[in-house]
Structure 1
Amino acid sequence: YNAPANEFVAGFIGSPKMNFIDGAKLGETAKTVGVRPEHLTVDANSGAWKGTVVHAEHLGADTNLYLDCEKAGLITVRIFGVYNAEPGSV
């Protein structure tokens, strides 16, 4: 989980699955950047990746947000606890 041997293993282990982002879109030299959903945070007022909520999945103890980000594309963010967000919100 913490140090996967390859992209397949990184994407297979964990729920929701790891986000894979084209490094060039982020200005990185790496071909692909992998970020686990629980390692991302959401802030309506600031942040490096601006995005819009596509879907909010309320699971009781967790909230999964599916965001369309201008730099990273479609990503998943896992928030521990309840987070009120509606599709279309920024």
Structure 2
Amino acid sequence: MIRSYNHKGFVLEVAIETNSRLVPPPGDIRYLAVVTISRSGRPVTAFSPLCIGSTRYSNFESAEEALMSAHTAARTFVDEWVRTVS
């Protein structure tokens, strides 16, 4: 699953991946978010790509949790970067 968001002139692309096991045990599917932040069609090398993981676990329990956490983290990265560059 890939989603793109616009934020302050940047494009935040969030890709959600599952764990790499072909046949995971029931309830053992976990998710990882990979974020690419770009501007004018080019990744911003200051912080792209990013792998976002849960602070309590090595990865997320649902794709929705991974997507929302990664989106929030990417917005925070952009906000902080814009604030320090300005």
* TM-score, structure 1 normalization: 0.28
Which of the two has higher C-alpha Rg?
2
Bigger RCO (CA 8 Å, 6+ sep): 2
* TM-score, structure 2 normalization: 0.29
Which structure's residues are more often helix, by fraction? 2
